[in-house]
Amino acid sequence: MEQLNELELLMEKSFWEEAELPAELFQKKVVASFPRTVLSTGMDNRYLVLAVNTVQNKEGNCEKRLVITASQSLENKELCILRNDWCSVPVEPGDIIHLEGDCTSDTWIIDKDFGYLILYPDMLISGTSIASSIRCMRRAVLSETFRSSDPATRQMLIGTVLHEVFQKAINNSFAPEKLQELAFQTIQEIRHLKEMYRLNLSQDEIKQEVEDYLPSFCKWAGDFMHKNTSTDFPQMQLSLAVEQQMDCSSVPIVMLPKIEEETQHLKQTHLEYFSLWCLMLTLESQSKDNKKNHQNIWLMPASEMEKSGSCIGNLIRMEHVKIVCDGQYLHNFQCKHGAIPVTNLMAGDRVIVSGEERSLFALSRGYVKEINMTTVTCLLDRNLSVLPESTLFRLDQEEKNCDIDTPLGNLSKLMENTFVSKKLRDLIIDFREPQFISYLSSVLPHDAKDTVACILKGLNKPQRQAMKKVLLSKDYTLIVGMPGTGKTTTICTLVRILYACGFSVLLTSYTHSAVDNILLKLAKFKIGFLRLGQIQKVHPAIQQFTEQEICRSKSIKSLALLEELYNSQLIVATTCMGINHPIFSRKIFDFCIVDEASQISQPICLGPLFFSRRFVLVGDHQQLPPLVLNREARALGMSESLFKRLEQNKSAVVQLTVQYRMNSKIMSLSNKLTYEGKLECGSDKVANAVINLRHFKDVKLELEFYADYSDNPWLMGVFEPNNPVCFLNTDKVPAPEQVEKGGVSNVTEAKLIVFLTSIFVKAGCSPSDIGIIAPYRQQLKIINDLLARSIGMVEVNTVDKYQGRDKSIVLVSFVRSNKDGTVGELLKDWRRLNVAITRAKHKLILLGCVPSLNCYPPLEKLLNHLNSEKLIIDLPSREHESLCHILGDFQRE
DNA sequence: ACTCTGCTCAGAGGA
């Protein structure tokens, strides 16, 4: 009762004080720091701190009194009293806390004898970071931020190996012979061999040094194991040198000379580039972080999480655990109640395995190797067969690590005082004019001339120019690959030529699939290459060339064999994020080729460039730029790719203008909208190609019967093979959009699209030749649901996803249609529109509401052109309804 | 106002 009064008193007091603080500010802090925290009581309690008061209690000691709540409405307040050392916890209003201990009459008492308070319970920080912050808070933060700045050393490798041997010995034996054996085993593991390669250390050296420590392991085991030694431990002296906390965030004066010294090789422009990108990357990672909700994995039961599709619960382990090697265990799981539920989990996804029981949280992590209706096969880093067979497991998709580490690492590397970084700074930040040599004869080895000439024969003129420019370059070349101009073939040919000349090549791209597309072509020419990266992400036909597969098949256990593998290859291929591989610490390539370069953000694109003398960026800045979520970062210029930035140096640019995809009518749209007439067809065959519909005559007859085909200009506009382009205006139908939380959609457009698709299929078009494109995911969902009833196999995807690919027939649903002139972001980008209209080879059908779309400048330009060509046709009122009947009639036959 | 792909991890030692 006394406590209750105290609470009331405190609340009264503190709330009046609190009221003077702007409530908005408090709310902002809560939303910004803890966007997804669901307040609750019980085992996983999460309290919001409303007020903090430091008071003297009756004994004259200091205590902190927190007014806290676990209810979302912020009513039902409780009191938490922190005594003794707990008083120093820097808890503030707006913080989230977890409490352990007793709560009586809505009051928690946490003191030296009982209870715990955990500040920010859903934030994960490593033990190392905490420990290092004791000496210097700034250092701890910086080394968390710039993770790659701490280079690997011999001492670290020895330390890691010794730790591992020690851990193995704990489960095994500390007998000298056994330790010897374990040590020998450990230094043969591929990951340690890779580290030795990175550090240029010999296996014997490492073995010798590791062995020197083994006797002390024996001694330790003799002294401390299997004895009751609780009182025998030597007294350890703890001495802490704690850096004085600074009042302000600025740098201490004593540091200034050091900073000056470390940055004297940098110009002002370099420092500005560095801080701008740091800022943009930080903003962007905050936007990404806000979308994550990692705490669900420990706060939400599997049955709840399953609904999101990123979790599978109630799993039991089947059969034996197959030991692939140390640290890789193949597990089979099945659902206790039968089939695997509907899930987003796919082969290659990273997962965390926990027990359904809370005490078995995060037992192991690894990859999904295979998933089907009944079984999930996972490659895990721990062997779970030590647990009882009846253990129920859950599988959670690991939250994607929104990678700020790699770009920040690359950015700081760009600032280093090395030859490579200086050259890149000159070229990239200061726009130094790229240099070229004058004569091919000085780069072409004599014996390669015939081979190169022969390869060049198969190319068109701009492609040959591109090859020549690359060979002559001393710094970089930019290849603009307009839609359908055969970028992949061009890169493949370039690699063949460089290979023939004896140059070493690093081949990278943004996505795994783009890397593999080039390699699939390359494989036909018997060019040896090494594909780096997770084997599960690699195309099956390429997997035999991955490091993991080669090491397995050749059972590589010595450094000499590994070095042989790394040195025998001229071509190394990986994604531009996969540059942490040890091979890059020892090798310098003659050329680095970056595919999809216009879609990669600058600090990511930089990564592979550090390891080559010259580079080639291939892309098209008239297509989609790197995606940036954060509005502020976007406004600061974060979506400018390196390709776009360097494109102003025209002397380095070659344009591939001859395209083999679109017929001339389709091509002309993009020529009008973006390329100013530069695009041309590769041949008459390409220019005149039209769709071939085997059963078109029959379908036409039926349409004549049900819908007066020849009196219906819009049907002819859509279906006649000789009309490759057609815009259907839905204004009169009408077809209004729906705006929901999940995105924008348009059911009427979806129905029309599905009708048209089914007629094309009926007329003999293979569903895999048809592509349906919409700017919004929500629209894809609706179209997919409608299609599922009739035709599968038709690929429905966003504009962004269709970049780089094509289909014979493409139907585009523009979705936006409203009277109030509301305009979305997506269609404002003319590059997105350019991609959408350049995917079709033979037939392009555009569907949308003309008056609404005219509010978007890029679309207005396109529509004006289409209008002048008489390619816009109005759909009659309520047409989608009559079409449904027609479709019904068709299907009844 | 809704578009997207990458990536072990934490702590191995030194100061």
- Mean pLDDT, residues A552-561: 87
Q: Which residue is nearest to nucleotide B14 (CA to C1')?
A: A155
Structure tokens at A774: 């919409």
Structure tokens at A27: 């709310």
The DSSP result for A630-676, as a single string, is -HHHHHTTTT-BHHHHHTT-GGGEEEE-EESSS-HHHHHHHIIIIIT
Q: Strand B closer than 7 Å to the CB of A513?
A: yes
A479: helix, strand or coil: strand
Q: How far, rounded to the nearest angstrom, does the alpha carbon of residue A769 sit from its chain's CA centroid?
A: 29
Q: Strand B closer than 7 Å to the CB of A627?
A: yes
A631 closest-nt by C1' vs CA: B1
Structure tokens at A713: 């200009």
Listed in sequence order, the residues at least 6 apart from A382 whose beta carbon sits closer than 8 Å to its beta carbon are A329, A363, A364
Listed in sequence order, the residues at least 6 apart from A109 whose beta carbon sits closer than 8 Å to its beta carbon are A80, A81, A83, A101, A102, A115
Q: Strand B closer than 7 Å to the CB of A126?
A: yes
A373: helix, strand or coil: coil
> From CA A396, how far away is CA A310, in angstroms rounded?
6
Main-chain dihedrals φ then ψ at residue A108, nearest 5 degrees: -100, 135
* pLDDT tens-digit map of A151-163: 788 998 999 999 9
* pLDDT tens-digit map of A102-127: 899 999 999 999 999 998 888 777 88
Nucleotides of B under 7 A from a protein CB: 1-15
Q: Which residue is nearest to nucleotide B8 (CA to C1')?
A: A366
Q: Strand B closer than 7 Å to the CB of A826?
A: yes
What number of H helices and E strands is found in chain A? 34, 30
> From CA A463, how far away is CA A49, in angstroms rounded?
65
CA at A677, C1' at B10: how many angstroms apart?
56
Q: How many CB atoms neighbour CB A748 within 10 A?
A: 23
The DSSP result for A754-769, as a single string, is HHHHHHHHHTT--GGG
> From CA A278, how far away is CA A257, in angstroms rounded?
23
For residue A672, the model assigns a pLDDT of 94
For residue A830, the model assigns a pLDDT of 92
A799 closest-nt by C1' vs CA: B3
Least reliable range by pLDDT among A142-146, A626-630, A760-764, A815-819 = A142-146
Q: Side chain identity at A554, as an amino acid letter?
A: K
Task: Indicate the average pLDDT of chain A.
Answer: 87
CA at A292, C1' at B3: how many angstroms apart?
18
pLDDT classification of A15: cutoffs 50, 70, 90:
very low
* pLDDT tens-digit map of A334-382: 988 888 887 878 777 888 888 888 778 888 888 888 888 888 888 888 8
Listed in sequence order, the residues at least 6 apart from A680 whose beta carbon sits closer than 8 Å to its beta carbon are A657, A658, A659, A667
Dump strand ranges (E) for A33-186: 47-56, 62-69, 77-82, 96-100, 103-104, 107-110, 116-119
Nearest to A869 by CA among A713, A715, A665: A665
A539: helix, strand or coil: coil
> From CA A775, how far away is CA A329, in angstroms rounded?
42
A14 pLDDT more than 80: no
* pLDDT tens-digit map of A56-113: 888 888 899 999 999 888 888 999 999 998 998 989 998 889 999 989 999 999 999 9
Q: Which residue is nearest to nucleotide B15 (CA to C1')?
A: A135
pLDDT classification of A385: cutoffs 50, 70, 90:
confident
For residue A229, the model assigns a pLDDT of 44
What whole-number percentage of chain A has pLDDT above 70? 91
Structure tokens at A434: 């790229």
Structure tokens at A729: 């205006």
A11 pLDDT more than 60: no
Structure tokens at A562: 């590994």
A12 pLDDT more than 60: no
> From CA A307, how far away is CA A431, in angstroms rounded?
51
CA-based Rg of chain A, rounded to a whole angstrom? 32
Listed in sequence order, the residues at least 6 apart from A710 whose beta carbon sits closer than 8 Å to its beta carbon are A704, A716
For residue A774, the model assigns a pLDDT of 95
For residue A74, the model assigns a pLDDT of 80
For residue A521, the model assigns a pLDDT of 94
For residue A780, the model assigns a pLDDT of 92
A239 pLDDT more than 60: no
* pLDDT tens-digit map of A409-427: 999 999 999 999 999 999 9
Q: Which residue is nearest to nucleotide B4 (CA to C1')?
A: A627
Q: Which domains does chain A have, with CATH numbers?
A: 2-119 (2.40.50), 154-222 (no CATH), 296-397 (2.40.30.270), 405-659 (3.40.50.300), 688-892 (3.40.50.300)
Rounded (to 5) percent helix, strand, coil in chain A: 45, 20, 35
Structure tokens at A37: 């925290």
For residue A401, the model assigns a pLDDT of 67
A20 pLDDT more than 70: no
The DSSP bridge partners found for residue A77 are A69
A774 closest-nt by C1' vs CA: B3
Nearest to A435 by CA among A653, A655, A651: A651
Listed in sequence order, the residues at least 6 apart from A144 whose beta carbon sits closer than 8 Å to its beta carbon are A125, A129
A29 pLDDT more than 70: no
- Mean pLDDT, residues A549-574: 88
The DSSP bridge partners found for residue A851 are none
| Vertex A28 angle, CA A26 and A34, to 5° | 100
Listed in sequence order, the residues at least 6 apart from A453 whose beta carbon sits closer than 8 Å to its beta carbon are none
Main-chain dihedrals φ then ψ at residue A397, nearest 5 degrees: -65, 130
Listed in sequence order, the residues at least 6 apart from A385 whose beta carbon sits closer than 8 Å to its beta carbon are A317, A320, A321
For residue A244, the model assigns a pLDDT of 42
Least reliable range by pLDDT among A553-562, A592-601, A649-658 = A553-562
Please, where are the H alpha helices in A21-122?
A: 23-33
Main-chain dihedrals φ then ψ at residue A590, nearest 5 degrees: -70, -40
CA at A194, C1' at B14: how many angstroms apart?
23
A252: helix, strand or coil: coil
Q: How far, rounded to the nearest angstrom, does the alpha carbon of residue A852 sit from its chain's CA centroid?
A: 34
Q: How many CB atoms neighbour CB A394 within 10 A?
A: 26
The b-or-e profile of A852-877 (16+ CB within 10 A means b, else e) is bbebbebbebbbebbeeeebbbbbee
Q: Strand B closer than 7 Å to the CB of A365?
A: yes
A412: helix, strand or coil: helix
Q: Using a 7 Å CB cutoff, list residues 69-98 of A near strand B.
A: none
Nearest to A478 by CA among A620, A658, A613, A591: A620
- Mean pLDDT, residues A645-657: 95
Judge whether A102 and A109 are in contact, CB under 8 Å: yes
For residue A876, the model assigns a pLDDT of 87
**Sheet strand arrangement including A840-848:** A795-798, A770-774, A807-813, A840-848, A725-729, A872-874
CA at A155, C1' at B13: how many angstroms apart?
6
For residue A402, the model assigns a pLDDT of 65
